[in-house]
Structures are given as C-alpha cells and as structure tokens.
Structure 1
Amino acid sequence: MIHVELSREDPWPAADWDALATAAIRAAIARTPYGPLLDTPAAVEVSVRLTSDREVQTLNAQYRHKDRPTNVLSFPMVQRDLLETVSLNSDDGELLLGDIVLAHGVCVAEAQERGISVETHATHLLVHGALHLLGYDHMDDDEAEGMEAIERDALSDLGIADPYLVRED
C-alpha cells in the first residue's frame, strides 16, 4: 500500500496537496512494472516536501553540486533491484521509497510559462519525481523517451494533457 507523507511550507498555498500527490504518485507507479507496490500489504512510503526555492537550492548544491534551485529533486531510498522483491514478496513491514521535493517559485514560473495551473504542473513534477524514485532517469535519449512515455500515460490517466507537446503560439 502506498502512503504519501506530505509537508507544505510557505509560500505554497493551502490546497488539497495530499490528494494531488497521492494520485500523481499512484499513477506513476501504476504505469511501471512496479505496479504491484500499489497493492502490496507492505507500507510503502513516499515523502513529499513542498518548499521554497531557497531550500531546494541548498539541497541541489549539497547533493548535486549545482548551486541553483530546480523544479523537483528526488532522493531514492531503495535500489531498483530490491523493489521487485518488495512488490512481489513482501507481506509486512515498511519501505521508504524516497523523498520528492518541489520548489515553489520554479514551479510557479514554469506553470505560468506553459499556461497551466500550478497544481497541474506540480502533478507532472510529482509523477516525474516518483519515476526517479523507481530508478528511471533521462541521462540519454532512449532513457528520456521511455521516461516521458510513462509520464504521458500517467498524466493522461489523471486527465492532464501531454506536457511534452510543443505549443505553437
């Protein structure tokens, strides 16, 4: 069973972020071979932190050696090969899948640039972050295409348009 532990800090406004994060993370996992994590009796936890650009910049500098804010950071806690064991064989216990951190200012600016709501963009970033927790990456073109395809499918399940379509204004 997936449990999302969410913390929201200023300047993120009050909203039903718990439901949004849970839906996004569940949709992402469902579109991968790790879908059985959704129904395993084990407690599978994802921590989501909605915070400031400053905090994300600090984390990005500390863990990625990039001294700037970014839209989303993911910190996986489980190696990909262990996920299969948990999803297929675990009937008790707990598993911390990892942490996802979103930067408010970057998220708002990107949403405005795309002409979408902050909630819609945050949903995309949460799907993206959840896939990183599962070991997906976009370091080369093939990986990026595969990850984007899963994102498109998960977001479609949530009623959100393809974020990778190029808009012609």
Structure 2
Amino acid sequence: MLDLLIEAADWSRIPLEQLAEKATRATLEHLGRPVEQSSISLMACDDDRIGILNATFREKPTPTNVLSWPSDELGAGEDGKTPRDPIPDFDGTYELGDIAIAYETCAREAAELGKSLEDHVTHLIVHGILHLLGYDHVRDRDAALMQALEVEILGKLGLDDPYRI
C-alpha cells in the first residue's frame, strides 16, 4: 500500500509512518479504491530536497509543502467532474504515484496555522493522494470538489476542517 522513504531526520519527531498509513487508508476507502492493491510512494524530505524537485518539475525554485507525481493522468476534462478511475496493472496492482513532503515547510505552516504538525501533515498527505487520483485545484469547481473531499476524509479521521478560518 505505502512505501515510505524518510530522507530527513527531523521526521522522527512525529509518528509519520502511522500518520501516512492512516491517511492513505482513509482516503482510498472514502473514494472506494482498493487499499491493499494500491501502491503509493511517499518521500519525507527536507526543504532543500523539495526545493530542487519543485525547480525541476514545476520550474519554481523554492521549497513547498507537498508535491505529487501521478502514475497516470486521471483528471476530469470538465471542471468539477470526478476524475477517471485508475486502471490496474496486469497483476491487479494500482500504481498511483509518488508524493514528496518537506519537514521544515510543514512545521512552519503548522505553527503559523496554530495546528499540530501531525494534523497538518495528515492533511497534506490526503491532499497529495487526491492529486494522485486526478483531483486538482486549478479550476474553481475542481478546487471545490477536492476541498470538500479533504474535509470529509479529515473529518472521518477526527480532524477539523483545515480550510475553516
């Protein structure tokens, strides 16, 4: 289900593996996706590493909180519509893609938002998985759909709406 690579020692400050597995399971179950047959890679890195990735893949030479690389383009053609379902590989596995998350940016954002780092990281992992599944927030109705899903999934995990001010 989840392949976790921890590159930055700061991640040992929180139970990242448990948070990531819980967020992954909750997201996939909420969307009716097969949990055990789905494969996601999560790299827990630092700001330097994610800054390089952001520059390489998005031409933005600054750190960010989370990046996602879907295995397949599943996004809906029409704004606000549900993305296409992933298609399994020949062995029945759904290779969904890769996510990178940066410790310093996440910790700074959590402090600025007055949230626990664990809650903020859980939200960002859910957010990243939704990107892997074709959800996005560039167009208005797509953003509303993605945000509503995040709120629902996080609510099932006992977390507050991250968008409520």
TM score, norm. by length of structure 1: 0.85
* Alignment partners' CA distance in 1, 2:10 and 2:17: 16
Secondary structure of the 1:138 match is coil
Q: Which residue of 2 aligns with 1:55?
A: 49
Identity rate, percent: 40
Give the SS at the match of 2:34.
helix
Question: Take 1:132 and 1:160, find their aligned partners in 2: how far apart are those partners?
Answer: 20
Aligned to 1:76: 70
Shift of 1:82: 5.8
Going from structure 1 to structure 2, the CA distance change for 1:143 and 1:158 (only over 3 Å counts) comes to same
Secondary structure in 1 aligned to 2:153? helix
Q: How far apart are 1:116 and its partner, in Å?
A: 1.1
1:122 to 2:116 alignment: no
Instruction: Mark the CA change 1:82 to 1:158 in structure 2 (over 3 Å): closer, same or farther.
Output: closer
Structure 2 residue aligned with 1:22:
21
Deviations 1:16-56 (A, max 9, x none): 32221011122222233xx13226xxx32111111100000
Aligned residue number for residue 34 of structure 2: 37
Contact conserved, 1:29 with 1:131, CA < 8 A, in 2? no
Go from structure 1 to structure 2 and tell me whether the alpha carbon gap of 1:16 and 1:91 turns closer, same or farther (over 3 Å shift).
farther
Structure 1 runs (4+) deviating above 4 angstroms are: none
- CA spacing shift, 1:92–1:110, aligned 2, 3 Å: same
Which residue of the partner structure matches residue 4 of structure 1? 2
Aligned residue pairs, count? 155
Deviation at 1:117, TM superposition (A): 1.1
Instruction: Tell me if 1:162 matches 2:156.
Output: no
Q: What's the counterpart of residue 135 of structure 1?
A: 134
Using the alignment, how far apart are the partners of 2:47 and 2:153 within structure 1?
26
Deviation at 1:91, TM superposition (A): 8.7
1:100 is matched with which residue?
99
Matching residue's letter, 2:51? Q
SS at match of 1:37: coil
Specify the code of the residue in structure 2 equivalent to 1:36.
Answer: R
Contact 1:4/1:48 (<8 A) preserved: yes
